[in-house]
Chains A and B, each alone.
Chain A
Amino acid sequence: MAKRSIIPFGPQHPVLPEPVHLDLVLEDETVVGVIPSIGYIHRGLEKLVDKRDYKQYTYVAERICGICSCGHGLGYCLAVEQIMNIEVPDRAKYLRTIWVEMSRVHSHLLWLGLLADAMGFESLHMESWRLREKILDMFDETTGGRIIHSVNQVGGVQKDMDSAMLNNILHAIDDIERQMKPIVKTFLHDYTVQSRLKGVGVLSKDDAIAQGAVGPMLRASGVEYDARLLGYGAYKDLTVEPIISKDGDSYGRCEVRMKELFQSFDLIREAIGKIPQGDISVPVKGNPDGEYFVRIEQPRGEAIYYVKGSGKKYLDRFRLRTPTTSNIPPMVEMLKGCQLADVPLLILTIDPCVSCTER
């Protein structure tokens, strides 16, 4: 009988920029059980609705996570706008969509880089992050911030983009798309990369549904579901096709995210082509009275925002269910039976965002 041992993984670990702790139960080199413990980045910011009024809270919502910042601001604002029956101008919806899609590009490029780094493929890591800088430069030009943008507000957006900025975005994504080609080739067709990704960490379609996987994780297991199909923002006018992969292994998750990058390029182009003229925000009067659930598709999957107000300046409750929270149970399932050496890579393939999860 193989000897059982428990290896602690984290909280401070080279592969993770953020702290998360796992106890890995091993039989020789094979993982047989995983006990996750979280809470290292818990700040308690849902409770901050007591101290910030509902307009100020947009800034806090944007700081739930630095990678999906724009999406968190959008989700929160959508929920408040629904409660208060505010009709956001069409131009604002398009601007929000462009920024959120740019966030997806930057998040997926970041993930590809981290994946390459976890495999020890340093040059591929650097190349992905080099391309990501072009998107950050566009954020810098259009919003004034590289990471935290603070463009969403209840009733619209704070900043407009002129035609020169929109053109620059088009040039930047053309440039990235052209330079992406060798990276795509390496990630999807290189022998070394395939040997680390193919057939590793398989999550079957039934398991993905039963364990509640979301986002690229769910789509990589062959389920056609994308919250962008709900048509929030400008997505109702744009063509969104869920991108799926059949195998459910690490390679499938890489493939889905890679293809989503190109989908985002197309969505940005389409949105810039269709963007209408007009106002970018409407004045907001009164306080939210009621409750609402909003679902949006973040780069990591579906996020759910719940807002409850009772006619006061301060909200009663704000609640968020983040994509990584839903992806932890499938990850635990996926890790069972894998080799110890594959653990860091497999944790990375769910694209964990711990600061979202723990808030």
Chain B
Amino acid sequence: MGKVSKSPWLLHYDASSCNGCDIEVLDCLTPKYDIERFGIINTGDPFQADIFLITGGVNSQTESVVKQIYSQMPEPKVVVAVGICACTGGVFKECYNIKGGIDTVIPVDVYVPGCAARPEAIIDGVVKALKVLDAKQAALEAKGR
């Protein structure tokens, strides 16, 4: 992964996941995978988060919450959809209350497939998100911010 330019903070939200991907996201933070060694920590505060990790498809009740959390995060921000439900709706796609993947509501930068997504895949997704974050930062600076 080379050099990591920033220590990004994660915000995790469960849009309508079965919990499988959520506990794998938490697993990434615990001793076996320990993404904290890359300076990445899990925060509960949208105002301090750089990366929005989101699991599960969007349903009618979480739609507004997802939009609100996204709008509260400062620029630049990156959205990572974790698990097949967050990517497309997955096994629940045909359920009456599921609208589909996260990209039906907010723009998604990185897609992590899997049911449940393995911690290795999630870490890989976060590392990819860092590159996107750098690019967005550079674009903002070019605009003079």
> Chain B residue with minimal CB distance to A12?
B13
Q: Say how far B75's CB is from chain A's closest CB, in angstroms.
A: 20
Please determine whether A17 and B23 come into contact, CB atoms closer than 8 angstroms.
Answer: yes
> Chain A residue with minimal CB distance to B72?
A12
Please determine whether B118 and A51 come into contact, CB atoms closer than 8 angstroms.
Answer: no
Query: What's the Cα separation between A14 and B10 when bound, in Å?
Result: 12
Contacts of B13 in A (CB 8 A): 12, 19
Which of B54-62, B105-113, B134-142 is found at the contact surface with chain A?
B54-62
| Given A66-B116, A130-B31: A43 touches B92 (CB 8 Å cut-off) | yes
Contacts of A126 in B (CB 8 A): 30-31
Whether A212 sits at the interface, judged by CB under 8 Å, is no
Query: What's the Cα separation between A131 and B61 when bound, in Å?
Result: 36
Please determine whether B94 and A48 come into contact, CB atoms closer than 8 angstroms.
Answer: yes
Contacts of B31 in A (CB 8 A): 126, 129-130, 133
> Chain A residue with minimal CB distance to B25?
A17
What does the 1/0 interface line of B84-108 toward A look like (CB < 8 Å)? 0000000110111110000000000
Q: Say how far B22's CB is from chain A's closest CB, in angstroms.
A: 5
Whether A8 sits at the interface, judged by CB under 8 Å, is no
Please determine whether A43 and B20 come into contact, CB atoms closer than 8 angstroms.
Answer: no
> Chain A residue with minimal CB distance to B57?
A43
Query: What's the Cα separation between A213 and B107 when bound, in Å?
Result: 42
Contacts of B61 in A (CB 8 A): 39-40, 42
Please determine whether B19 and A48 come into contact, CB atoms closer than 8 angstroms.
Answer: no
Contacts of A19 in B (CB 8 A): 13-14, 62, 65
Q: Could you say which of B25, B30, B91, B118 contacts A63, with CB atoms under 8 Å apart?
A: B91
Please determine whether A63 and B115 come into contact, CB atoms closer than 8 angstroms.
Answer: yes
**Interface residues in B, total, Cβ within 8 A:** 38
Please determine whether B59 and A43 come into contact, CB atoms closer than 8 angstroms.
Answer: yes
Whether A110 sits at the interface, judged by CB under 8 Å, is yes
Residue of B20, B31, B59 most packed against chain A (CB within 10 A) = B20
Please determine whether B95 and A47 come into contact, CB atoms closer than 8 angstroms.
Answer: yes
Contacts of B30 in A (CB 8 A): 113, 125-126, 129-130, 133
Whether A59 sits at the interface, judged by CB under 8 Å, is yes
Contacts of A14 in B (CB 8 A): 43-44
What does the 1/0 interface line of A41-72 toward B look like (CB < 8 Å)? 11111011001000000011001111101000
Whether A147 sits at the interface, judged by CB under 8 Å, is yes
A-B contact pairs, 23 of them (CB 8 A): A12-B65, A14-B43, A14-B44, A17-B14, A40-B61, A40-B62, A42-B61, A44-B95, A44-B97, A47-B95, A48-B92, A48-B95, A51-B94, A63-B91, A66-B18, A67-B23, A110-B23, A129-B26, A130-B30, A133-B30, A136-B27, A146-B24, A355-B19
